[in-house]
Amino acid sequence: MYSPYKLAGYQNTKPIVLASGNPGKLVEMQAVLKGYYVYLQSEFFSDQVEETGHSCIENAILKARFAAEKTGLPAIGDDSGLFVEALNGAPGLFSARFAGENADDYANVQKLLKVMHDVPEGHRQAKYVCTMAYVRHAMDPLPICVTADWTGYILNEARGKEGYGYDSVFYLLRERATVAELTPVIKSRLSNRTQALRALLAQID
C-alpha cells in the first residue's frame, strides 16, 4: 500500500491514479486534470484486473477499484470501445481484441473492414464510447460514473497515420477526416475521452 502523502510531492496538487499503463493516455488526461498529480498504475504494479463486467460501466468500476486497492489512492478507471450500428454494437466491449486475444490495431481494423465489406453506404454509422468511473478508495460505495460518445462513420479503407485503435477508419463528417488524420491537439479536444473526463472532473472537484 502506498501513502498519498508521500507520493504527492507537488504543492497544491492532489494525487490520483489512472487505471492504465498507457503513457499517451496520461498526457491526454493530465492536460484536463489540472490541480491533480496523475500517476499511471503501471508506476506501482504490472498486473491487470480481469474485465468480467457486462458493460463499459462495470469494467470501468472494476479497473478503478483495482487501482485504488493496489495504491491506496483515489483512482479513475475507463472503458472505451467502438460500437457499430450495422454490427449490433460490435465490437463494443471486445474492441481491443476483436480479431483475437492478442490482436493488434492493424488486425482489428482489418477484421472490421472484412465483416463490414457488404454494408452499404448510409448504413455504416458508429460511435466511440468512453465510460469513466472515479472511486475515492477501493471500497467506495458511491463511485462516480460518466459516459461520453463520439459519433462517426466507418470507411471502407484506412486513412491517416495518427492515433490508434480504429482511428484510421473512423470518419468524422464535420471534420471531413478520419480521427487518424487529425492532429493530436484537435483529437484531444474533440475526443470522447476528453469529454468524459471533463464531465467527471466537474463532479469530483
The length of the chain, given as a count of residues: 205
With cell 498504475, the residue in question is 41
Which DSSP state fits 131?
E
Omega cis (within 30) before 143: no
The sign one gets for the Cα dihedral 8, 5, 38, 43 is positive
Catalytic residue (choose from 78, 79, 104, 118): 79
In the residue annotation, 79 being an active-site residue is answered as yes
Residue 162: CA count within 13 A, CB half-sphere: 13
Looking at the annotation, which residues are catalytic?
79
